[in-house]
Amino acid sequence: MNPALSDPPPGTATETEAELIARCLLALRTLWDATGQLEEKFSSTLDQATPEARASARNLIHYLAVRQHDIRPLQKDLARLGLSSLGRMESHVRATLAAVFRALAALSPEPVEVPQVSPDDLSFERGESLLGEHTTTAFGPECAGSATRIMVTMPSEAATDLALVRDLLSEGMAVARINCAHDGPETWQQMIANIRRAEEETGLNCRVAFDVAGPKLRTGPLPASPPVIRWKPLRDTYGRVVTPAHIFFVPAGSHPVISEPGALSVPVSAALFEAMCPGLEIVLKDTRKAKRQVTLESAGEGYCLGLCGHTGYVTPGTGLELREPGRPEPVATGTVEDFESTKPAFLVLTAGQTLIVRKGDAPGHSAIPSQGSAEGVPATISCDLEAVFQDTKPGEPISFDDGTIEGIIRKVEPEQLEVEITRVTSQPAKLRAEKGINLPETNLGISGLTAKDVADLEQAVPLGNLVSLSFVRDVADVRQLIGELDRHQADHLGIILKIETRKGFENLGSLLLEAMRHPPVAVMIARGDLGVELGFERMAEVQEEILWLCEAAHVPVIWATQVLESLAKRGLATRAEVTDAAMGSRAECVMLNKGPHIVRAVKTLASILRRMESHQLKKKATLRKLKVASIGPFETA
């Protein structure tokens, strides 16, 4: 550490104010010189930024120069002198340093040469206004009474439900996110047509962001899950049946309308169904050889409802006997007819188990004998990204499904990886197809854009306002995207850098400088994958660092992943989610994912953001009058 920036040596308790001032001046001079040196080092990079982004790029470099030092001792000293501790300098670095320099010079008993701010250095006023200007350029004007915009991932229904889109816009949606990993070009076009029509009807504005999927590692397919229908009665605390299981017997191949939510339909032959009527019983032995008796309660249009007080499992071919109560001879017999499984297949994994990850897209299999594999054979799953098998090394960590399953790579072969499962969040854990794979310590030699991404950009150019670069790792990824945008002459499309990998976080400064060749630029803190890559215990500090760096670059930030997720999906937010949403007000945009209650989630989020703006602006607390219980008039002596 530079001596000028270190804590004073022991025995300086009697340090005079003049000596304290001198030490602060020396430390500030060190920081000022560092900003100039780093700016000179990156002069060619600055020249590549567009004219409208160059001042922000310079300020970012100045901030990076200051943050290469530990300035906490200096902050303490400045606070002792009643001066700014440099804690809010992000948007105007040199202006802040110069202002503190002038204050120290005024206090110093000795003459001090104060460094001069150049015309290219941002003033306080200009530095603070730039972020707002760039936010409006990227995300559109303020709406819903809040400076923090709301981004919403478009559900498939947005392609056909204009009222849904109109409600989202009316409640505060400013940016519509098209997730290119789902649906397809025709559906995206219909979504955007509804967005533009809703804009006309409401008089509100909405940006469209195309989120290209990028090279996300995912698990491959699994064999279809065995077709099994399971029913279960509702029991009280003492195990007594409160409500028997409802089973709807239907003719095979038919699809009657059954109003009961989550109804279980068991297909049977037409002849057996014709013989069914209320008062009779269905007797069977389920897959566990347990005898089950189902009482036929009522009949409707195309179905017959049966009640059962015990849990049962049936598969195609399960034998059925239709009987009159008390009589052993069946009225009719039949079987459960063929039906497709409605449950996704999964592997069952436990800590200490071996998992084989194979190259390609062949279906994997489970190590559990009951699911059709031999005992002792490791579970397998596939991955079709060749770089995984070329670049990984034994001893590197690997995780699956947002970190719910963690392991260590023990052996690397050209066609497969041998993984030891070290931790699972549930015992056992279930690993399904299309789940994310994270390799936080592996340097994968992969391109930032896949062939599908390049094709999806063809849709974004005429229809979108922004394009999100997923799983960005280094400047080569940004250059590739800018090259594609230049090829399409898409100067109107802004860039969103999704920070969701360890490399992306570590290279954020360089990524921002590279992206400033093609403004507007925004950054998304994709906290799901980023938390897996870096460790969730680090997320609090990591998101702070991203916010600081982006404020120095005057780049708006999107606060993403699981914001009010319980509210959007189930209609009720948790207390922790509300607090997290309030913290999101420190960003310029907050993203919500789709769900049945998404309109309510947008309305709630807009209300939270409006309230928080009167208390917090970035890192700065704004001290409005508190709305607390009165303590009464002050008494005077």
The span from the CA of 415 to the CA of 359, in Å, is 5
Query: Dihedrals φ, ψ of 296, to 5°?
Result: -75, 120
What token pair was written down for 226?
A: 């065995």
> What is the maximum span of the chain, computed from C-alpha positions, in angstroms?
113
What's the rounded Cα separation, in Å, for the pair 147 and 141? 8
pLDDT for position 637? 46
* Tokens read off for 347: 């592997």
Which domains are delineated in the chain? 3-122 (no CATH), 132-215+447-621 (3.20.20.60), 229-335 (2.40.33.10), 346-437 (2.40.33.10)
pLDDT of residue 6: 67
How would you class 59 by CB atoms within 10 Å of its CB: exposed for 0-12, middle for 13-18, buried for 19 or more? buried
The answer, yes or no, to whether the previous bond of 428 is cis (omega within 30 of 0) is yes
Quote the CA–CA distance of 336 and 247 in Å, as a whole number.
Answer: 13
Half-sphere exposure at residue 72, Cβ-oriented, CA atoms within 13 angstroms: 3
Q: What is the DSSP string of 598-610?
A: HHHHHHHHHHHHH
Instruction: Give the other-Cβ count within 10 Å of 57's Cβ.
Output: 25
Write the burial class of residue 125 (CB in 10 Å: 0-12 exposed, 13-18 middle, 19+ buried). Answer: exposed
Question: What is the value of pTM for the model shown?
Answer: 0.82
The encoded tokens of residue 472 equal: 């960005």
Instruction: Output phi, psi for 175, to 5 deg.
Output: -135, 130
Q: Are 539 and 511 in contact (CB under 8 A)?
A: no
pLDDT of amino acid 1: 55
CA dist., res. 575 & res. 591, Å (int): 18
Report the alpha-carbon distance of residue 456 to residue 117 in Å, rounded. 46
Phi, psi (5° rounding) for residue 78?
-65, -40
DSSP-derived secondary structure letter, 213: -
Q: Taking each helix axis from N to C terminus, what angle separates 17-41 and 93-107, rounded to the nearest 10 degrees?
A: 150
Short-list 285, 263, 264, CA closest to 333 = 285
CA distance 520 to 277: 69
Q: Residue 370's pLDDT is what? A: 39
Token reading at 273: 């169904």
Helices 451-463 & 475-487 angle (0-180, nearest 10): 50
d(CA 213, CA 216): 7
Which ranges of the chain have pLDDT less than 50? Answer: 11, 369-374, 634, 636-637
In whole angstroms, give the CA distance from residue 88 to residue 106: 22
- Burial of 573 (C-beta count, 10 Å sphere; 0-12/13-18/19+): buried
SS (H, E, C) 143-208: ECCECCEEEEECCHHHHCCHHHHHHHHHHCEEEEEEECCCCCHHHHHHHHHHHHHHHHHHCCCCEE
The alpha carbon of 514 is separated from its chain's Cα centroid by a whole number of angstroms, namely 24
Please state, as a whole number, how many other Cβ atoms lie within 10 Å of the Cβ of residue 468.
28
d(CA 77, CA 24): 7
The first and second tokens of residue 504, run together, are 């992306």
Q: Residue 352: count other Cβ atoms within 10 Å of its Cβ.
A: 9
Residue 562: CB atoms within 10 Å: 16
CB 200 within 8 A of CB 232: no
Residue type, 134: H
**Among residues 148, 112, 127, 129, which one has the least CA distance to residue 63?**
127
C-alpha–C-alpha distance, residues 191 and 169, integer Å: 13
CA end-to-end span of the chain, whole Å?
A: 53
